[in-house]
Structure 1
Amino acid sequence: PSFPLLASLLLLVPGASAYGFRNCIQSMVDPRSFRCIQRFLSDVASAVDDLPASPTVPAASSRHLPQLRKLGLAYNRLEMIEDGAFENLGALVTLNLSYNRLTNLSEGALHGLSNLTHLFLQHNPLSTMHPSALQPLGHLHTLDLFSSRLASFDEVACRLQSLLRLRVLNLCHSNLSSLSSCCLLPPSLSTLHLCNNSLQAVDSGPQLLRHVRRLDLAYNNISNVTSFAGTQLQKLRYLLLKGNPLDVFDLLNVSRLPPSSLDYSGLRLGREGVSRLCQHLGNGTVRRLLLQSNGIQELEGKPFSACPPVRALDLSWNKLRSLRCADWLLGEEQHGALQSPPPPRLRTLHLNINTIAYLHKHALKGLRALTELRLDNNLLTDLYRPSFADLRSLVTLNLRNNRISVLFPCVFSSLSRLQILDLGGNNIRRLGSQSLCGLHSLTKLYLDGNHIKEISSDEFRPVQATLQVLDLGGNSLEYITKRQHKPPPFRYLHRLYDLKLPGQRPYGMKIIPPQFFRGLSALRELFLAENKLLSISPDAFDDLRQLQYLSLADSSNGMQDLPPGIFKSLVCLQRLNLENVGLHSLTLEVFGNLGNLTSLLLAKNQLQTFNASVARALGALRYLDLRKCPLSCTCENLACQGWLPRAGQPLGYVYSFDTHVCFLDAGLYLFSATAPVLLLLTLLPLLHHRAYWRLKYHFYILRSWANEHWRRQDGESFQYDAFVSYNSADEGWVLEQLGPGLESSQGSFRLCLHHRDFEVGKSIVDNIVDSIYHSRKTICVISRSYLQSEWCSLEIQLASYRLFEELKDVLVMVFLEAIPERELSAYHRMRKVMLRKTYISWPPEPAAQPLFWSKLRKALRGRCAEEDEELHPLDGGDEPLLESVSQL
């Protein structure tokens, strides 16, 4: 698949209105900037041809955009740039052509870019460049040729002769093996990146690098340090040599490089190397000493004792496991009495990204001038108050991504000047009322990514007078009831202007209780995204009258529409993010009071229409995002269409909607087409409810007829004397009375019973049909439970088919209990059977039971033959009940 076109358009058009483009998305922060990322565009013209044609924002291709300031064409498949491709782009400042397939820059490829300042060509197989290709770029400041395939450094240097304002050149990863060149670099060039090449020496000659201030030679193959001796580097202020097989102390001995200008990161100095390095640093103050990635595991024995005063020390990316005493930072002359004023002391200390698990109580003793301390990304579990006792000047303390679980009372009480405290990414589960005591200047507190389950107002009382930013995102705050049993947690933070509460784990806050944000009278920004809210109290935001930004994005968890009046107090709100919150409609009760709202994000909601009255109420709105909303081209959106800004070309499916259909009198046609369908849909459930079993019975009867037809062809044979149809509630009588009474030596009948004779694995309906047709008779044991059973009704219906259709006397009805006429009248399926057949009743008196067995055996022995006339009823039936039933 083709790579997407990345085009960012910065237009000098103040106050541009916001509306949708086919291939670009207008930036909410800067309405003059457009993003065309991941639009699968093939050329720049398709990215900008739908811009409105006006005197201030010209449309069509790039040559018609003389005010274009920024153009990004990265991640495409451009193989060449034709001459004059960027003509008339005289205002262009930044051009990004990275990650393409450019192999050549012709003479006129960059013609017309007279004001270009930044040119990015990294990750192109660029192998040739015309000598005059860069000549039009007289104002170029930055040239990035990372991962190019130019033949030599000399070719590049000679192409740069006309770039008198060039300051930054990146030639990293370009397969350069030598720096020899007959052309000098521009005097303005101050930063040169030559990392990840194949250089073995600095063979550039004495004059080539004389103006360079920052030189990056990391990850080459430089081992010959004598080559630095013949090179003029008197203006060099920073040199990075990481990843080269050289001895830095030999380099300091043979060259004139100032030791303080080197970045000693990645040179594998070790603890002993630090001591040797201090001897080379001299007596002057070192502004910054960088010792990253040197494999330093411990600092016992005062390795910095011989060092001059250091203002900033970076020991990150090492293997330090513990800090025990500050002596390793203080030289001996700083311990004794001094006759002259003490030199500048350590201000910045970076110990991040080590494996420090233990911080000794006196590890930082004496660092009274320290203003910034980084201990993030270590393994610290406990913090003690004496550890910070001497850090009275500390302004920034970073303890992020450790394993701190408890903040002991007043552990930071000595840090009265601390302004920024970062405790994010730890294992803190709760804050005590004294955890933040003594932090009288704290303005920013980061507690995100912990496991805090509950917050209270007393916890933040020590910092109530100064705290301005509070980050509690990614914790475990959860509210499952709207009742607030404790005072609002932020009621003392009257100066807080930024509050972050997104992504509470594991399933979000769920509910925002009433008055939860009470006291935040100065709050400007509130983040509540990714909280899967089920409910928000209508008065939740009543105290936030100064709020300017609110995010509830990705909080859809069944909440659907917002409660009326929820934003009634947010008269200063300017930006509102409601992306993916489950909205189904926009109402004035919710949005009617947001008269100052300038940007509204409603993407990924269930909106089908945009309320025109809401659109009119949002008079200051300049940016509206309705992406991935199922907006429909219906007449309900007609008013919204007129509200959209008009342009010379159609603005998408809503703008180009044919409005003539809204004025057609099509009601009659719609009624005629839909009424029959609705009537049919109404009758089908009724028919299903009333005649479902009847239809099902006829289907099974049809199957029975087909099976009987084949049986007639094969010859009639019976496996049983009678199939017994009964309900499970009467199973006891069948097994205890009927079975023994008929299958005994006196009866000598073979019965077919469900539990005994049905074939395993066969459909129950097929078992019933086969049992009826393999039996000479069918005995129906009738009771109230039998009449209410659908399966029993099916069995008697199938048996009655043989009675009426085949005129075979196959049905014997046995009543176990007396059933009144009013109950029998509801079971009309038996009426036709009882009109043709009498029945036998089971007498509860033992004296009458022999007569019952005699009648039943007689009925079972009766011949099963076709008759021309009506079958004669059995003698001995209950005639009064039969007569009453026959009258139904």
Structure 2
Amino acid sequence: MLHHLVFLFGMSLVAREIFAFTSCYSNGQIANYYFCNLTEVPPVPNNTVILWLSFNKIRQVNASSFPLLEQLLILEIGTQFDFPVTIGKAAFRNLPNLQNLDLGDNKILHLDPDAFVELSNVHTLQLYHNSLEESILEEDYLRDMISLEYLDLSKNKIKRLRPHRLFYRLKSLQIVNLENNKIPILCEGNLASFQGKLFTLFILNSNKLYYSVSMDWAKCGNPFKNIALDTLDLGGNGWGVDIMRHFCTAVNGTSIIFLKLSNHIMGPGFGFKNLKDPDQDTFAGLARSGVRLLDISHGSIFSLNPYVFQSLGDLELLNLHNNKVNQIQKQAFFGLGNLGTLNLSYNILGELYDYIFEGLQNVMHIDLKQNHIGVIAENSFRDLRKLKLVDLRDNAIKTLPSFPAMITLHLSDNKLASVDNKKINATFLILERNRLENLGVLHILLQVPDVKYILLRQNRLSYCVKTVNVIENNQLVYLDLGENMLKLVWDRGLCLDVFWALSKLEVLHLNNNYLTTLPQGIFSGLTSLNRLNLASNLLSYLSPGVFPESLKTLNMSENQLLSPALELFMTLSILDITNNRFFCDCTLNTWTAWLNQTNVTLAGSENDTYCVLPPFFTRVPLSSVALDGCNEDELQKPLQFSLFIFTSVTLIMSLTAVIIFSHFRGTCFVWYKTIKGALLKERKQAIDTSTYKYDAYLCYSSKDFEWVQNSLIKHLDSQYSEKNRFTLCFEERDFLPGEEQITNIRDAIWNSRKTICIVTRQFLKDGWCVEAFNFAQSRYFCDLKDVLIMVLVGSLSQYQLMKYKPIRVFVQRSQYMQWPEDHQDVDWFLNNLSHQILKEKKVQKKSTVIEMQTVRTIS
């Protein structure tokens, strides 16, 4: 039965993986002859179990092609590059125990009527994509295949379905695949030789069945009369509401567990009325079929009408994925008392009302991801007492309704700025990529009674105001705070006790938080911590005793460690210290020796754990560093000692100067400006306001407005402060209400001395921003002036920038400015940006013709 198929396919997949790179090779019981340019079957050992002959040029197989191979179970001879392929009489008679025969994808296959004689043990026969016609079923080609379980005839040219009476004898047949043929009609009696069978899977997908013929449904009758079906796949046939209703009525009483009707044309979609949504009569004919799983995904259903599923009382799963559902009427789910899973993902729902899930008293899983949900009524989920999982990913939710107790609440990729613990109750809370800024939200979430997993990755956690204290008996075991800004919280001494009450926490992620130091005692209370992720921070020093004794796995990759203390890692089982900045001197000698001898598993490649200093050890792996001279008596070598002292003093002074400048460069810049102004009596350059209305137009994504306002506008715009010298233009203040967006953008660019584009991830997703960038670049070629300033904010790769042609043209011609990661450099950056706004730079004409053509192409 089916376990034989699973076993055979498993053997085939494993063997393919082993011999993927050893084509034209026979080893033991496996013979792999893929892509060997063969024109006939090669000789193979008589104990061969698996023989692969696909991707060759074999055009004929006959009774003498194979030697006697009594142990052969799997034979592939599909996808021959020369066709037609002819299978002669008794071609496989020397393969008496063959179980899996693959002749698929030969484009044109000619079969002798006796081609398959004596193949009584074949379980799987694959004849897909061979230009076969209906004779393969209507004649007795398969008469000896009494063990056949799986027959694949997909992608052929079968135009009629009337199987030969020999199929009465094929008692084991369970799977028939007729996808992508040309069967226009199927009526009662056509499948007479299949009657009395139970099919695990019957596929008639993409045949245009009933689509282009005039049907007398009353005369046609039930094509599956006296046939039981676990899964019936009728998707992709282009059925509208009328065909769907007639078919469901025709199969009244036929047992179907899983009915797949995906890729239909039911529903008008958004903004159209030419096609109907299903109504209470559409699926009424399935009332006695016992359907438990219904797939009507990938269509254009716009409205779920009242009582549309009332006849499907046995339904346990309803898949409405990828339609255009925007409205769910009252009592739309009436009659679905046994439904356990509802999939409404990838639709266009905007609001969820109190009545929307009425009738789903037993539902356990609701998938609503990738809609446009912005408003959820307070009691939408109130009566769903058996609910275990709600997936609301990638919507526009700002405020949470009340949820019953469940296992998983998935709310990532929304617009949440705060949460209320009284409205949620789940074991898994997934809140990644929202707009949470207050680390105090963690204290609120820990009030949830049964919460064990909290994921807050990629939010905006940058300050902390506690409204509640962490309860001592919380059950939290997994916490992900990666890719936030916890440095800003802890550098101000806020919420240093955030982990103190998490005695059961086992896994903690703090990667990508710009951490330069770990506050003393920050991990106090984490007595069960087993795995800690501190990767991709800026840590250069770790104080002794900072990690809990229970810690076994530590990720310190992508930091700036120079000479870490050995005792920090003695109790670990797994350690990742790749891509750090190790200083390989004698102080590291003991450490490198430990690395070569320790039982701790070191993650990553040896080549990724290397020295940065001194220069002659740069990029040398730690395991290869030779520090043999570190134990010699330096007093006996005065010259070496003197050189050591001189080098050490010089290095220390240089490092001290670099460190001082690195940590206080912001203050140094302020002193420099003050001294320069005093000595040179520097005057501010007068700004010519006669030509332009604005000094600069700030172009940015509306999602970045808060950051732009705090980081740029407040420090440059004269309306924000008298000490600021520029008149800036930006959308929220200066665009004319009611005017077209493109007109506002064009006027802002041409009325401003310069255009400053703040390029972020959100900028690249905003079509108006990219269009504004293109407009500004067009002005560059018209005025022959450098009027465009590009400021890159955040970590965007060169590949991400080069995907956008206007930006690629600019980057190839000009340099852009990078927003500093360290706040000390902000004043210097703003000063440099001010000079760029004031500077007038002419552009040479010699290359403008080609570049203007490029810009026109972009436009």
Deviations 1:102-134 (A, max 9, x none): 6569979999998x9xx9x89x84556997899
Q: Which runs of 5+ in 1 are unaligned?
A: 1-68, 332-343, 687-726, 730-888
Match of 2:158? 222
- TM-score normalized by structure 1? 0.54
- The reply to whether residue 421 of structure 1 matches residue 390 of structure 2 is yes
Q: 1:372·1:394 contact (CA, 8 Å) conserved in 2?
A: yes
Q: 2:279·2:307 contact (CA, 8 Å) conserved in 1?
A: no
Match of 1:326 among 289, 307, 322: 307
Match of 2:457? 502
- The reply to whether residue 550 of structure 1 matches residue 508 of structure 2 is yes
Q: Specify whether residues 475 and 110 from structure 1 end up closer, same or farther in structure 2 by C-alpha distance, changes over 3 A only.
A: farther
- The reply to whether residue 243 of structure 1 matches residue 195 of structure 2 is no
1:244 offset after TM fit, Å? 2.3
Structure-to-structure mapping, 1:742-753, within 5 angstroms:
none
Q: 1:494·1:520 contact (CA, 8 Å) conserved in 2?
A: no
Deviations 1:607-658 (A, max 9, x none): 344532112132xx1x33333334455434433344346599x977333332
Q: 1:127·1:148 contact (CA, 8 Å) conserved in 2?
A: yes
Matched residue SS, 2:486? coil
Match of 1:289 among 259, 282, 286: 259
Measure the CA separation in 2 of the matches of 1:585 and 1:525. Answer: 26
- The reply to whether residue 452 of structure 1 matches residue 452 of structure 2 is no
Matched residue SS, 2:356? helix
Match of 1:538 among 470, 483, 496: 496
Q: 2:89·2:115 contact (CA, 8 Å) conserved in 1?
A: no
Measure the CA separation in 2 of the matches of 1:172 and 1:356. Answer: 39
Q: 2:446·2:474 contact (CA, 8 Å) conserved in 1?
A: no
1:428 offset after TM fit, Å? 0.6
Deviations 1:244-264 (A, max 9, x none): 221252597245346335311
Match of 1:80 among 20, 23, 48: 23
Measure the CA separation in 2 of the matches of 1:134 and 1:605. Answer: 64
Match of 2:565? 611
Match of 2:835? none
Q: Specify whether residues 211 and 396 from structure 1 end up closer, same or farther in structure 2 by C-alpha distance, changes over 3 A only.
A: farther
1:203 offset after TM fit, Å? 1.8
Measure the CA separation in 2 of the matches of 1:288 and 1:580. Answer: 48
Q: 1:544·1:569 contact (CA, 8 Å) conserved in 2?
A: yes
- The reply to whether residue 566 of structure 1 matches residue 496 of structure 2 is no
Q: Specify whether residues 110 and 150 from structure 1 end up closer, same or farther in structure 2 by C-alpha distance, changes over 3 A only.
A: farther
Match of 1:207? 143
Q: 2:304·2:327 contact (CA, 8 Å) conserved in 1?
A: yes
Report how many residues are paired: 563
Measure the CA separation in 2 of the matches of 1:135 and 1:626. Answer: 55
- The reply to whether residue 595 of structure 1 matches residue 541 of structure 2 is no
1:407 offset after TM fit, Å? 1.4
Q: 1:160·1:186 contact (CA, 8 Å) conserved in 2?
A: yes
Measure the CA separation in 1 of the matches of 2:46 and 2:598. Answer: 32
1:477 offset after TM fit, Å? 1.0
Match of 1:657? 625
Measure the CA separation in 2 of the matches of 1:633 and 1:110. Answer: 59
1:184 offset after TM fit, Å? 6.4
Deviations 1:650-671 (A, max 9, x none): 9773333324132243784364
Measure the CA separation in 2 of the matches of 1:519 and 1:170. Answer: 63
- The reply to whether residue 306 of structure 1 matches residue 285 of structure 2 is yes
Matched residue SS, 1:413? coil
Match of 1:624? 575
- Which of structures 1 and 2 has the larger relative contact order (alpha carbons within 8 angstroms, sep 6+)? 1
With 102-111 and 530-539 compared, the bigger mean Cα shift is at 102-111
Match of 1:703? none
Q: 1:495·1:520 contact (CA, 8 Å) conserved in 2?
A: no
One-letter identity of the residue aligned with 2:456: L
Deviations 1:568-605 (A, max 9, x none): 332322333332122323443322x24341x3333222
Q: 1:83·1:106 contact (CA, 8 Å) conserved in 2?
A: no
Q: 1:456·1:488 contact (CA, 8 Å) conserved in 2?
A: no
Match of 1:635 among 574, 586, 602: 586
Q: 1:238·1:263 contact (CA, 8 Å) conserved in 2?
A: no
Deviations 1:371-419 (A, max 9, x none): 2211111111122222322111112111111111111111112211111
Q: Which runs of 5+ in 2 are unaligned?
A: 1-13, 196-223, 268-276, 600-604, 608-620, 658-679, 683-859
Matched residue SS, 1:655? helix
Q: Specify whether residues 575 and 272 from structure 1 end up closer, same or farther in structure 2 by C-alpha distance, changes over 3 A only.
A: same
Measure the CA separation in 1 of the matches of 2:550 and 2:80. Answer: 53
Measure the CA separation in 2 of the matches of 1:577 and 1:157. Answer: 64
- The reply to whether residue 523 of structure 1 matches residue 476 of structure 2 is yes
Match of 2:240 among 270, 275, 298: 270
- The reply to whether residue 475 of structure 1 matches residue 434 of structure 2 is yes
Measure the CA separation in 1 of the matches of 2:163 and 2:521. Answer: 75
Matched residue SS, 2:248? helix
Measure the CA separation in 1 of the matches of 2:65 and 2:520. Answer: 68
One-letter identity of the residue aligned with 2:646: A
One-letter identity of the residue aligned with 1:656: S
1:273 offset after TM fit, Å? 2.4
Q: 2:162·2:190 contact (CA, 8 Å) conserved in 1?
A: no
Q: 1:474·1:502 contact (CA, 8 Å) conserved in 2?
A: yes
Match of 1:378? 347
With 581-590 and 232-241 compared, the bigger mean Cα shift is at 232-241
Measure the CA separation in 2 of the matches of 1:632 and 1:155. Answer: 74
Q: 2:292·2:314 contact (CA, 8 Å) conserved in 1?
A: yes
Q: Specify whether residues 201 and 646 from structure 1 end up closer, same or farther in structure 2 by C-alpha distance, changes over 3 A only.
A: farther
Q: Specify whether residues 112 and 234 from structure 1 end up closer, same or farther in structure 2 by C-alpha distance, changes over 3 A only.
A: closer
Q: Specify whether residues 627 and 351 from structure 1 end up closer, same or farther in structure 2 by C-alpha distance, changes over 3 A only.
A: same
1:368 offset after TM fit, Å? 1.3
Q: 2:499·2:522 contact (CA, 8 Å) conserved in 1?
A: yes
Q: 2:309·2:333 contact (CA, 8 Å) conserved in 1?
A: no
1:208 offset after TM fit, Å? 6.4
1:196 offset after TM fit, Å? 5.1
1:450 offset after TM fit, Å? 1.1
Match of 1:669 among 636, 640, 661: 640
1:304 offset after TM fit, Å? 1.9
1:300 offset after TM fit, Å? 2.9
Q: 1:376·1:401 contact (CA, 8 Å) conserved in 2?
A: yes
Q: Specify whether residues 145 and 225 from structure 1 end up closer, same or farther in structure 2 by C-alpha distance, changes over 3 A only.
A: same
Q: 1:243·1:266 contact (CA, 8 Å) conserved in 2?
A: no
Matched residue SS, 1:274? helix
Structure-to-structure mapping, 1:713-792, within 5 angstroms:
none
Matched residue SS, 1:643? helix
One-letter identity of the residue aligned with 2:431: L
Deviations 1:789-817 (A, max 9, x none): xxxxxxxxxxxxxxxxxxxxxxxxxxxxx
1:359 offset after TM fit, Å? 0.5
Match of 1:182? 115
Q: 2:361·2:383 contact (CA, 8 Å) conserved in 1?
A: yes
Structure-to-structure mapping, 1:566-585, within 5 angstroms:
566-585=522-541
Matched residue SS, 2:347? coil
**What is the RMSD computed on CA atoms of the aligned residues?**
4.7
Instruction: Kindly name which structure, 1 or 2, has the bigger radius of gyration based on alpha carbons.
Output: 1
Q: 1:177·1:200 contact (CA, 8 Å) conserved in 2?
A: no
One-letter identity of the residue aligned with 1:545: S
Deviations 1:445-484 (A, max 9, x none): 1111111111122222xx3xxx2111111211113xx7x5
Deviations 1:715-735 (A, max 9, x none): xxxxxxxxxxxx999xxxxxx
Q: 2:325·2:348 contact (CA, 8 Å) conserved in 1?
A: yes
Measure the CA separation in 1 of the matches of 2:128 and 2:182. Answer: 14
Match of 2:770? none
Q: 2:167·2:193 contact (CA, 8 Å) conserved in 1?
A: no
Match of 2:357 among 388, 394, 399: 388
Measure the CA separation in 1 of the matches of 2:364 and 2:154. Answer: 33
